[in-house]
Amino acid sequence: MVYPRPVSTSDPSPSTQPAKPILRALDGEAVSPAPIWLMRQAGRYLAEYRALRESAPDFLTTCYTPDLATEITLQPIRRFGLDAAILFSDILVIPDALGQSVQFAKGEGPMLEPIGPGDVASLQPDRLAGHLAPVFETVGRVKAELDPKTTLIGFAGAPWTLAAYMAEGGGSKDFATARSWAAGDPESFQQLIDLLTGAVIDMLRHQLDAGADCVQLFDSWAGILSAADFETWCVRPAAAIVGALAQSHPGVPVIGFPRGAGYLYGTYVEKTGCAGLQIDHGVPLDQAARLQRNVTVQGNLDPVLLLAGGEAMTAQIRAIRGALGGGPHIFNLGHGVMPPTPPDHVAELVEVVRQADP
């Protein structure tokens, strides 16, 4: 099934463009076998990643060192021949670039010097391009190394999720501080969201200019918002980002991931115009198939099935392809690869996906 999609207004030298399976899927094509990549496909579950990190500087400096970030980005591609590489970086490079203190202590989550309404004016969006130049250099280096069939995915954290970490000072079960700020002083919170929306657009444009084929927008904490706040803090900024990229980089697809959106995934697709939708593993397959009528669906194997491997994983891979194989689908997990996952299970997953379609 190829579903209607606005015709791209710019398709530079289509005859010389390789037919990257992920871009074909994002263009609405039911590609078979399904192209596949995995969220957190580069990371701690790989021995070569752990080895590299042992002698590497701290986590953020690693993100800002093109030699290291390029190598980490490519590690899972070499091992598994996945259909996409995703830039190795972190969503919190944006607050770091804006001048907020961000640290990753070993074995802990990220720690930020929390900001409040009075701090928004002191954030420095003009620093972003300079501060993140090494990240964009990494994009270019990875691109030069990739097989022409392999898609390079850039990414950014979405404004709400970034704001949540920035206000809270780190991870949280419910981001009560951030949500209280948004409810109690929506004007200043809107200023923060607007500033971040601009920063995300800036960040993603630089990645596209450096060679990314498409981008993914991670709104990891969309699921804790009320339905009304989801529209205000998640959908509206995402729509602005998709719209801005469509102007500067027409035809380049954006994959949105408002994690945990539940009933609201459909609204997100309708109102943002994203070409791809990453769904978490809580979305039942009949609903995923319904969403697929309007968007390329990416997902949604439960990462614990990849951790467990074997028959349970294989059965669910077949169920997912059975439900979504007739439309545009990119195989992925519903959340990131879990650190204790055996790499052999990833190899098995890729093999099964590539043989799953009848």
Which residues are designated catalytic? Answer: 40, 44, 53, 90, 165
Of the candidate residues 230, 233, 257, 268, the single one contacting a copy of itself (CB under 8 A):
230
Q: State which residue, 146 or 295, has the beta carbon closest to a copy of itself.
A: 295
352 belongs to the binding site for a copy of itself (CB under 8 A): no
CB of 148 to a copy of itself, least distance (A): 35
Closest CA to 332 of 281, 267, 271: 281
CB contact burial 190-201 (16+ within 10 A = b; e otherwise): bebbebbbbbbb
Q: Is the peptide bond before 33 cis (omega within 30 degrees of 0)?
A: yes
**Residue type for position 155:** F
284 belongs to the binding site for a copy of itself (CB under 8 A): yes
Q: State which residue, 97 or 112, has the beta carbon closest to a copy of itself.
A: 112
Number of residues that bind a copy of itself (CB under 8 A): 41
Closest CA to 196 of 124, 131, 255: 124
289 belongs to the binding site for a copy of itself (CB under 8 A): no
Of the candidate residues 176, 248, 293, 342, the single one contacting a copy of itself (CB under 8 A):
176
CA-based end-to-end distance of the chain = 16
* Cα-based distances in Å from 62 to 54, 65, 128, 145, 254: 11, 5, 18, 19, 26
CB of 235 to a copy of itself, least distance (A): 12
Length of the chain: 358
Strand ranges (DSSP E) for the chain? 84-86, 102-104, 110-112, 151-157, 214-219, 254-258, 276-278, 296-301, 329-333
Of the candidate residues 19, 105, 227, 347, the single one contacting a copy of itself (CB under 8 A):
227
Report the site for a copy of itself in 248-267 (rule: CB under 8 A): 260-264, 267
List residues near a copy of itself by CB under 8 A: 171, 173-174, 176, 179-180, 182-184, 186, 223-230, 260-264, 267, 281-285, 287, 302, 304-305, 307-308, 312, 316, 334-335, 338, 340
